[in-house]
Structure 1
């Protein structure tokens, strides 16, 4: 999970800023409680309304079912050698995406997050697995854009997927435009019509799945945004999803949150986030105990209130966490550094399970007829398995 933000601070600066300098929670005892009131969110769902209205008028939108009707990549099955405990199902991307050293899958969410178990978890007629990616300029280059992949997960439809570029609106209502979003996209959560994408040092960016825009193909791979007349290119992507707003994280703890991964908890109607940190010796990541924080949605809504105070905050004893999930008072934390999946409840304490290498985000899959699942994925080029395991294998 390579990062591009540097968190190098002197000891004096750490003390002056009031950052976390206490030792981490005891791994044997599990997480410890932090003051939840220290963590808040500020939400703006209308940041780009004027420009987005103009973009919709100019380009037109494509419903999710239309995007999937035009899916142009074939997913394949998992290799027989991949066999984590409790494996239920899964897939790989096509051979090009599986081995591409300039694009890396990170976050995962599903239409079960978006709509629950009703109608078999279908959103706009499709049961979907959604994966977020970041793109580098080259195999060794810097991050320059991000995208999502919509993967059909329904026997009624072909084993297809489609890529959609994430963009930020720019320009004015009279001259609307858009540009790339060069973020890590380390976590993603789909709730109702809204897609929340983690933005490491800031919080989350918000997108509306009803506002996928149609763009022109046939330009060069470098072309992005308005060209001439009504022609808009997007690196040859036929569809782009424009940002509608921003969820900004604030804290009085003295240490800003590093939004490494997020996940939806449908039971408590909240998003949980966790930090990727090191115990010591890292230059691209914070060297301190990581935290996990829960932020509730507004009552009866799939949006956050203008200001939201966290309902739970934890200091964690585990490091290099690329994935987090929570459901009905239970927590899971994926450590890519340890190749472990840590399970914890306040009543039972922690449990440790062997996990996959290069593991990334986690999404809880509710199922009213079958066993609940945990979906996850691997980012390593050549072995990008997207898979689901039975939740009971990794906790009660």
Structure 2
């Protein structure tokens, strides 16, 4: 990663080194106090245990999901017929579009090296049911030439949304609230395909079935052959791309999953990606939003809202997760030790000691709230840096670059933001593309401006906006839904990125 040198920080970092906080409620901090505060954790605080599905997935892959697939198959095979042989345009490999018109309002005010919007062929750009959340890339996964299995790929995880008024009925087949799917995007062609994330129905080495996975999907990290996905109240799931498989039955309208009468299906998608590990904390938080204990964060449990990978600062690597918590200040940022892919023990997986994950360090985002994406890196002077994405609804969001010891006043939603609208979600770093050092910061936005009909049908979920600065303000009386969904990359060292707070 490109290292940002800031000599004026040394004194501030030294002064801040003695500042520690407990994990009881975080008081609102003044503008001249640290933006992030190092925490002292209890012996097992926020540690997770590992439930292994390796044997179960291996059995499924060997005896039931026997039509094996590689990453290249997924991003290049253009199906035009379903498994019954009938023409089915729903299965056609989709293509990302360049962002145009109102969609560009969801891009950050910085020069983009990549600016994609989703295909409208199957309403990925405007659907109110599926929402893109976490993002990671093969640039993060590899670091040598930015490729995995020879492909340059961006991965995005989505969750299915059940609306308030039909929550009781919208649960059949593959319509479960927070059902997760993963999208692989070929950077070189812009083509992409959705894949169902799956979990074996048992941990047994004789497991013979699988089910879909649910969760918010707020964070994702791709490292080596593993894809890590957050499960907000519980922990982190791990999927193995070396176990990608094509199912037997696929096509539009298919709402089955698992293995029945010897045939597999995956909610209509042609490919399934099985889980191999599930790291879980003991117990669950009282809440993971602004209603949490009247504004006090749960001291014993973590909310896994977003995820990123930090390979700087020497061994070990760090898997970084943080909390959203809505309108509550002080969401925690916890960095777990991640072993290199070539390690002798737990290769490519979280480091374990005494049956529990090992935590490198933890911080409170003392003067931040509502963080929807984040990352850390250690610069050439040994200073730990943080970058955060904060969404402001469909108002311009906030990008903040801060560091251990920083006391500057931050940009707020009320001040008009400084970044993408939509709102912005995950952050991910892409260092090299083949032999070229690109130093890219990747992110995405999730939003839509709903049509009149959508607002009328689901008033509890969609309403008119009243702030004229809001990107959706001009669409309050619109017959169509407008997309604010983008996938973008900007220069990591760009002053328009590094000088923001």
TM-score per shorter chain, which class? 0.7 to 0.9
TM-score, normalised via structure 2 length: 0.67
Deviation digits for residues 338-357 of structure 1, max 9, x if unmatched?
82111111255556571112
Question: Match of 1:30?
Answer: 35
Corresponding position: 1:303 with 2:308: no
**Counterpart residue number, 2:19:** none
Structure 1 CA distance for aligned equivalents of residues 118 and 28 of structure 2: 38
Aligned to 1:334: 389
1:21 aligns with 2:25: yes
Match of 2:81 in 1: none
1:234 alignment partner in structure 2: 266
Rounded Cα–Cα distance in structure 1 between residues aligned with 2:282 and 2:205: 30
Match of 2:491 in 1: 390
Are 2:105 and 1:78 equivalent residues in the alignment? no
Give the whole-Å Cα distance in 1 for the aligned partners of 2:116 and 2:252. 31
Unaligned runs of 5+ in 2: 1-21, 79-92, 168-175, 286-297, 379-383, 412-416, 449-482
Tell me, in whole angstroms, the C-alpha distance in 2 between the residues paired with 1:290 and 1:311: 17
Q: Which residue of 2 aligns with 1:42?
A: 48
CA spacing shift, 1:102–1:50, aligned 2, 3 Å: same
Q: Following TM superposition, by how much is the alpha carbon of 1:173 offset from its aligned partner in structure 2, in angstroms?
A: 5.1
Q: Name whichever structure is richer in strand by fraction.
A: 1
**Which residue of 319, 326, 330 corresponds with 1:289?**
330
Report whether the alignment pairs 1:363 with 2:363.
no
Larger radius of gyration: 2
Query: 2:396 aligned with 1:312, yes or no?
Result: no
Report the equivalent of 1:265: 310
> How far off its partner does 1:255 sit?
2.9
State the 1:194 CA deviation. Answer: 0.8
SS of the equivalent of 2:350 reads coil
Inter-CA distance 176–26: structure 2 relative to 1 (3 Å threshold): farther
Equivalent residue number for residue 8 of structure 1 = none
TM-score (norm 1): 0.84
In the alignment, does 2:155 pair up with 1:130? yes
Gaps of 5+ in 1: 1-17, 280-286
Contact (CA 8 Å) 2:51, 2:277: kept in 1 or not? Answer: yes
| 3-state secondary structure, aligned to 1:59 | coil
Give secondary structure in 2 for the equivalent of 1:50.
helix
Inter-CA distance 214–137: structure 2 relative to 1 (3 Å threshold): farther
Partner of 2:479: none
Is 1:164–2:213 an aligned residue pair?
Answer: no
Q: 1: distance between equivalents of 2:31 and 2:325?
A: 15
Name the structure 2 match of 1:244.
276
In the superposition, relative to structure 1, how do residues 387 and 228 fare at CA in structure 2: closer, same or farther (>3 Å)? same
Which is worse superposed, 370-379 or 351-360? 351-360
| C-alpha RMSD of matched pairs (Å) | 2.6
Q: Aligned match of 2:372 in 299, 306, 322?
A: 322
Q: CA deviation at 1:372?
A: 1.5
1:70 to partner: Cα distance: 1.2
